[in-house]
Every structure is written in structure tokens, then in C-alpha cells.
Amino acid sequence: MPSSGKIKSFLLLKELKKLPSFYSSNVNIKPGDYLARTVDLYTSPGSVYLVNEDPIQLKKDYLLMRELEKECYEFIV
């Protein structure tokens, strides 16, 4: 995550679960939590696993996940 702050809403998982390649996730944040800027694996808020036999679909879902990631965090100001 390129920025930090207290999370007002977090919609990424809801959207990711709709992807054909979504397999599982391990996310450690929820609304109200403080999210520090991600700089390495230790500051990551979690992980998402995408799996698909079709490499084209897998790449498409991965790129979409990265785009959604930019929009899904709403911080309290």
C-alpha cells in the first residue's frame, strides 16, 4: 500500500472473491485498523492467492487485482 492511515472501509476482498482465479486470502486488516505504508513483506496487510490453469486469465486477474488495490482502501481523514 503506497499510503497509510486508519481504514474507513476495505472492499478489496469482496471484489477479489469474484475473480475466476481467486483461490484464498489471508488478510489481517479490518475497518478501524491503522494500516502502515507497505514497504516489505513484514508490513504487508496480508496475502491473496490466485490460481488458474489458463495463464492468460491468471495474468488478467492479477492485473485487475493490482488496479482494484489502488481503489479499495478508504482512509479516515
Give the tens place of pLDDT for each residue, 29-46. 888 888 888 888 888 888
Q: How far is CA 53 from CA 23, 25, 50, 67, 74, in A?
A: 12, 19, 10, 22, 33
Task: Give the three-state DSSP class for 76.
Answer: coil
Which stretch of DSSP H or E encloses residue 15?
Answer: helix 12-16
pTM: 0.76
Q: Which domain holds residue 66?
A: 5-75
* Residue that wins the pLDDT comparison between 15 and 12: 15
Cα–Cα dist 73/70, whole Å:
7
Q: Where do we find the cell 482502501?
A: 73
Q: Are 75 and 7 in contact (CB under 8 A)?
A: yes
Q: Number of folded domains in the chain?
A: 1
